[in-house]
Amino acid sequence: MKELTDRIKNNGRVLGEGVLKVDEFITHQVDPELMDAMGKRLAEVFADKKITKVVTIEASGIAPAVYAAQALNVPMIFARKSKSLTMDEELLTASVYSFTKQVTSTISISRKFLSAEDNVLLVDDFLANGQAAKGLIELCQQAGASVAGIGILIEKSFQDGRQLIEDMNIPVVSLARIASLHDGKIIFIEEDA
């Protein structure tokens, strides 16, 4: 998606160790106009899949997920990383290992929000190693829900996430695909959605 790759070129910054900083418009400060356009684009791609819910994980997955959900006219659910005081219901839970932080955390969604009737679109800001996505897929499976696909803003194609998800026969659509971040330079894979 040209608006996104242009914005990454203009406002993204490469940090050491293959990390892309996009806090000017995605992960901290949010550009609603761009986020709306990206949500609409993901909704368009999955328009004929009969999506019933959009599912993401807090925190920075929420903005793209809510715009995609609005465009699909369905609810958005975000998995929590820590237990909320008011979450007294039965929970779906999964463990997520972060290679970056080298810690395992538990993510959860109240059982009442996902059922076997649901056909889910997963949305996230980044796809790196795919561990967060894998955790979200597990939550959907526990509920008996189907996962129709995953929509990502920025895929780091030099990490293993896409392969991990595709091996589960789940289609991955990324609005920007980054081939490498060597020497402070951002190289895109040019067949962006």
Give the residue numbers of the binding site: 20, 27, 128-132, 156
Please select the residue that binds ligand G4P; options are 25, 46, 78, 126, rule is CB under 6 A. Answer: 126
In terms of Cβ atoms closer than 10 Å to its own Cβ (0-12, 13-18, 19+), residue 33 is exposed
Annotated binding site for xanthine: 20, 27, 156
Annotated binding site for 5-phospho-alpha-D-ribose 1-diphosphate: 128-132
Nearer to ligand G4P, 118 or 125 (CB): 125
Report the site for ligand G4P in 23-62 (rule: CB under 6 A).
27, 58-61
Nearer to ligand G4P, 52 or 123 (CB): 123
Does 167 participate in binding ligand G4P (rule CB under 6 A)?
no
Which of these ranges, 29-37, 83-91, 120-128, 142-150, lies near ligand G4P under the rule CB under 6 A? Answer: 120-128
Which residues sit opposite 124 in a β-bridge? Answer: 152
Nearer to ligand G4P, 5 or 27 (CB): 27
Does 76 participate in binding ligand G4P (rule CB under 6 A)?
no
Binding site for Na ion (CB under 5 A): 27, 60-61, 124-125
Does 168 participate in binding ligand G4P (rule CB under 6 A)?
no
Q: Which residues contact 109 (CB under 8 A, 6 or more apart)?
A: 55, 77, 79, 80, 91, 92, 139, 143
Helix (H/G/I), strand (E/B), else coil: 170: coil
Q: How many residues does the chain have?
A: 193
Nearer to Na ion, 7 or 47 (CB): 7
8 A C-beta contact, residue 23 and residue 107: no
Nearer to ligand G4P, 19 or 47 (CB): 19
In terms of Cβ atoms closer than 10 Å to its own Cβ (0-12, 13-18, 19+), residue 80 is middle
Beta strands 119-127; 53-57: pairing state: parallel
The 10 Å CB-count burial string (b at 16+, else e) for 44-68 is: ebbeeeebbbbbbbeebbbbbbbbb
Residues in touch with ligand G4P (CB under 6 A) = 19-22, 27, 58-61, 98-100, 125-132, 156, 161
